[in-house]
Amino acid sequence: MNIRKFHPFGASAFVPPRGTTTRPVALLAATLSLGAVVRLTAQNPPPPVALDPVTVLGTRTPVPLSTLGSNVDFISGEELGRRQINSLSAALGGVAGAPLFASGAGGAVTSLFLRGANSNQALFLVDGLRLNDPNTDYNVFLGGACVSACDNLEVAHGPQSTLYGGEAVGGVVALRSQPGAGAPSSRVAIEGGSFGTAQGAVSAQGARGSAAWNLALQGGHTDNERPGNDFSSANFTARLDQRMGERLALGATLRGFIGEYG
């Protein structure tokens, strides 16, 4: 039933019955609801999704760890920092099936026996370079080298000779510096302990535009428990990356280790 209300000048206006809503009001309500949904979505973006780590050690091509057929352990730089691990031997000491044996105190020559194979049957890669030739024996590097938050450590267990040759009968260990990412950040750490032990580390990483960097410097000294076993070391890592286009990127990595034992 329509109700008309007469005004003094003879004009009439339509008054809707009670309980009904006109179309303009409904359209306005829908617009306000849509605006509220858009505003809430902008204020609360969806949480980031953590992707499975990607490795190239097991197949020499980038594949997720969950799809890899061989047994590969992956330790990220974040994990090394969370566990407060600063030496390469300590990082490998937490990997199952990778026993280490040192010839002396901390910093001494150390051998690695992957899957029960001899120490000379484990291939050691540092930023893609082999350390198994007579000029660069990995045992010295393994005994005293440090790791930092800019490093990733991967260990492939079992024979990998089809990909890396006869030196990889027991497996492959790869230490790689990772590219800088995110907002620029830096970190400073100082440690001290008994037996005249002191160690310090400085690192900086980040990305800006098409350029990225990751730098780390570590050094320390310890007298060790027994006389004549003092050890001093210095480690530095620098990685620079520059993206030239969608399909072209340039990068350079510089790593050094200096150790003096006894």
Q: DSSP class of residue 77?
A: H
The DSSP symbol for 146 reads: B
Specify if 9 maps to a domain.
no
pLDDT of residue 211: 94
With contact defined as beta carbons under 8 Å apart, do 141 and 126 qualify? yes
Q: What is the pLDDT of residues 44-61, one digit of tens each?
A: 667 777 777 788 888 888
pLDDT of residue 158: 87
Tokens linked to 208: 């800006």
Q: Is residue 39 part of a domain?
A: no
Q: Is residue 123 included in any domain, yes or no?
A: yes
Q: The domain spanning residue 95 has which CATH number? A: 2.170.130.10
Number of domains within the chain: 1
Q: Examine residue 85 and state whether it is found in any structural domain, yes or no.
A: yes
Question: Which stretches of the chain score pLDDT less than 70?
Answer: 1-45
Would residue 116 count as lying in a domain?
A: yes
Helix (H, G, I), strand (E, B) or coil at 47: coil
Residue 30 located in a structural domain: no
First to last CA, the chain: 106
Pick left, alpha or beta for residue 186 (phi over 0 → left; psi -120 to 50 → alpha; otherwise beta).
beta
- Domain annotation covers residue 26: no
Whether this model's pTM surpasses 0.85: no
Tell me what pLDDT residue 30 has.
Answer: 46
Cβ atoms of 99 and 92 closer than 8 Å: no
Contact, 235 vs 206, CB < 8 A? Answer: no
Domain with 238, as residue range(s), is 54-261
Structure tokens given for 89: 């031997």
| DSSP secondary structure, 204-230, as one string | EEEEETTEEEEEEEEEEEE--SSTT--
Judge whether 10 lies within some domain: no
Which pLDDT does position 248 carry in this prediction? 92
